[in-house]
Amino acid sequence: MTRFIACICAYDGAHWCGSQRQKNGPSVQGEIERAIEEVLKHPAPIILAGRTDAGVHASGQCFRFATENKIPVERVPLALNSTLNQSIRVLRAWEVDENFHPRFSAKARVYRYRIECAPVGNVLLRNIAAHSRSTLDVYKMQDAASAFIGRKDFAAWQSAGSPTATTIREVTRLEIVERSNVFGSNLIEIEIEANGFLYQMVRNIVGALMQVGQGKLTTQEIESLTEGRDRTKCPPPAPTQGLCLIEVKYEP
């Protein structure tokens, strides 16, 4: 009897060419599939909830696979973690029906982006936070965040290379906070939730917010860029290492 098992996993994206299997290097998908085959003694392709680029992290990525192995589902995380590269960890697992699809069943996704503001970047943060030598005006960034809230056409904030049927998305939350950290510098955390994201949409939005914080862009200009739907007129994306997929939300 075929069983369908869903898992939540976390990974350090600095070690991988991206979440999806690719020809140019090792991927998160490839490593998880290798571990599943080693543990369950058969190949089992996985379906991921979303694609993350090289250098992008996750603490709440979801994947699903099918198996006829009778391993108790509560033992799946321990079994996979015993052979997975230490930069990937399966946090929990549960059985689902065959209609559950990690990507298409998702109702919302949450990403968090970290920026360290300091004259010299801390080497211990270099893989988990972008670095800004200049201070960013968090209040201006918070004000500009409102320009991205709501159901809009985000064509201007999608990078080329990932065709989609529609560029309409609904951003339900975009919060920006500044915290001090144990290394003596300040970290700006940008958390954004939407019913879906276009390719590199989060990094493109953060790139614009960083320019707002530097005084190079205004809230009104962001609104005009969104209305113009022209990616070539928008600021460049923020670096990959600051981005983390925090959660994929499903109906209870």
> For residue 147, which amino acid is it?
A
* Residue-wise pLDDT tens digits, 215-248: 999 999 999 999 999 999 999 999 999 999 999 9
Same fold across 3-96 and 108-249: yes
CATH class of this structure's domain 108-249: alpha beta
- Backbone phi and psi for residue 224, each to the nearest 5 degrees, phi listed first: -70, -40
Neighbours of 130 (CB within 10 A): 23
Any idea which residue has 């205004």 for tokens?
A: 218
C-alpha span between 239 and 206 (Å, rounded) = 9
**CA dihedral over 116, 207, 249, 9, signed as positive or negative:** negative
**CA dihedral over 5, 6, 7, 13, signed as positive or negative:** positive
Which pLDDT score is estimated for 183? 67
Which pLDDT score is estimated for 228? 95
Which pLDDT score is estimated for 155? 95
Q: Is the pTM of this model over 0.85?
A: yes
pLDDT confidence tier of residue 211, bands split at 50, 70 and 90: very high
Which pLDDT score is estimated for 252? 60
- Work out the percent of the chain whose per-residue pLDDT is above 70: 98
Active-site residue among 12, 53, 137, 230? 53
Cα–Cα distances in angstroms (integers) from residue 139 to residues 85, 108, 146, 149, 162, in the given order? 41, 26, 12, 16, 33
- Work out the percent of the chain whose per-residue pLDDT is above 90: 89
Which pLDDT score is estimated for 185? 74
Domain residues of the chain, as ranges? 3-96, 108-249
* Residue-wise pLDDT tens digits, 161-186: 766 789 999 999 999 999 877 666 78
Task: Answer yes or no: 137 catalytic.
Answer: no
Cα–Cα distances in angstroms (integers) from residue 228 to residues 2, 54, 232, 233, 237, in the given order? 49, 29, 10, 9, 18
Which pLDDT score is estimated for 32? 98
How large is the average pLDDT for residues 74-81?
98
Coarse DSSP helix, strand, coil percentages of the chain, rounded to the nearest 5 percent: 30, 30, 40
C-alpha span between 205 and 152 (Å, rounded) = 13
How large is the average pLDDT for residues 206-220?
97
Average pLDDT score over the chain: 95
Helix 219-228 and helix 138-145: axis angle, to 10°? Answer: 40
Which tokens in the block code for residue 63? 């994947």
In this structure, which topology does domain 3-96 adopt according to CATH? Alpha-Beta Plaits (3.30.70)
C-alpha span between 187 and 128 (Å, rounded) = 11
Cα–Cα distances in angstroms (integers) from residue 207 to residues 49, 71, 204, 236, 240, in the given order? 24, 45, 5, 6, 11
